[in-house]
Amino acid sequence: MDVLLTGGAGYIGSHTLIELLACGHRIHVADNFANSSPEALNRVRSLSNRDFAFSRADVRDRAALIALFQEFRPEAVIHFAGLKAVGEGEAKPLDYYETNVAGTMNVLDAMNAVQCRRIVFSSSATVYGEPEYLPIDEAHPLRPASVYGRTKHMAEQIIADWGRARPEASGALLRYFNPVGAHESGRIGEDPHDVPNNLMPYISQVAVGRRAKLSIYGDDYDTRDGTGLRDYIHVADLARAHVAALDYAAAHQGVEAFNIGTGAGFTVHEMLRAFSEACGRDLPYEVTARRPGDVAACVADPSKANRLLNWRAERGLPEMSRSAWLWQSGNPNGYEAL
């Protein structure tokens, strides 16, 4: 299939790109490198031994997107491009609405211009907001508690309305839980530009000596050891979910949401222990106050994706931490040269 990836140079995009190339899809990546590096694409080329097209493009630029789509004429789009830092979204809400909401409308417009009818969208478990029950299924109420979460919820609704207006259209809204880990080669991985907000990249930077210690945000939650519990999913499993979603979109009409998680959760202490085992030493930490907005536990019910996408997460916590450590130890400064 001819597939256009917006944001294909990013963390999840680059891992998905490898999977798609291995399956023989013809790919065009469009990215403005707002939060990624051309080096990630170079490494995907050498790891996969396959080529793909690339355009430096901004999803906020509707005319440029339409021109790009007219040139490549994709049969499907995987729309990763977006801004994802929750705190930054509160400080710069209009930037988040422009990139995540208007950007998604531009992508749909460009699809319309070339009669492209299939889209796989990077959504997030954050659209659910505070869990009312666990595990969270797709019928759970959608009450996002941040600007970032609202941009994803709005983009989902726009895609669903676009789909309703076109009976032949198909869309998969993939609600990722907590993606972690790296490609098994350790050559590509997550490379946050600023201080990491998320747990796993923070632990990785402590392990490699870039940060002094992990702050554990509260150990008085109602979980098995008092620390926050999340559904961590290996990025390679997440990448495979996109391939499955493309196949599903090719065979079905309508827009569907899918939880992409494992169905199991780990606490902060368990993540720290697993990473310490992977890197061979105990990592320093201190327990600090809770982070505002955090919930005690968040776990997916992934049975809809298991059933309809014929996909399931296969990699466990040891593989998540081992691959993250291989990537971080081999690339202490990410894609930047030392």
Is 335 considered catalytic here? no
Q: Are 4 and 67 in contact (CB under 8 A)?
A: no
Is 168 a residue that touches ligand UD1 (CB under 6 A)? no
Q: How far is the CB of 20 from ligand UD1 (least distance, A)?
A: 22
Q: Are 41 and 35 in contact (CB under 8 A)?
A: no
Q: Residue for token digits 């992409």?
A: 260
CA 238 to chain centre: 8
Q: How far is the CB of 155 from ligand UD1 (least distance, A)?
A: 14
CB nearer to ligand NAD: pick between 11 and 162: 11
228 touches which of ligand NAD, ligand UD1, none (CB within 5 to 8 A by kind)? ligand UD1
Work out the number of other CB atoms within 10 angstroms of the CB of residue 119: 27
CB nearer to ligand NAD: pick between 38 and 284: 38
CB nearer to ligand UD1: pick between 8 and 89: 89
Is 210 a residue that touches ligand UD1 (CB under 6 A)? no
> Could you say which residues in the range 228-267 bind ligand NAD, by CB under 6 A?
none
Is 261 a residue that touches ligand UD1 (CB under 6 A)? no
Phi, psi of 332 (to 5 degrees): -60, -30
Work out the number of other CB atoms within 10 angstroms of the CB of residue 42: 13
Q: How far is the CB of 14 from ligand NAD (least distance, A)?
A: 8
User: Which residues are CB-neighbours of 41 under 8 A, at least 6 positions away?
Assistant: 8, 9, 14, 17, 29, 54
31 touches which of ligand NAD, ligand UD1, none (CB within 5 to 8 A by kind)? ligand NAD
Spatial separation of the C-alpha atoms in residues 231 and 262, rounded to whole Å: 6
Q: Which amino acid is at 289?
A: A
Helix (H, G, I), strand (E, B) or coil at 117: coil
9 touches which of ligand UD1, ligand NAD, none (CB within 5 to 8 A by kind)? ligand NAD
CA 202 to chain centre: 17
Q: How far is the CB of 123 from ligand UD1 (least distance, A)?
A: 9
Q: Residues interacting with ligand UD1, by CB under 6 A?
A: 86, 124-126, 148, 178, 197-199, 202, 214-217, 228, 230, 268, 291, 293-294, 298
Residues labelled catalytic: 148
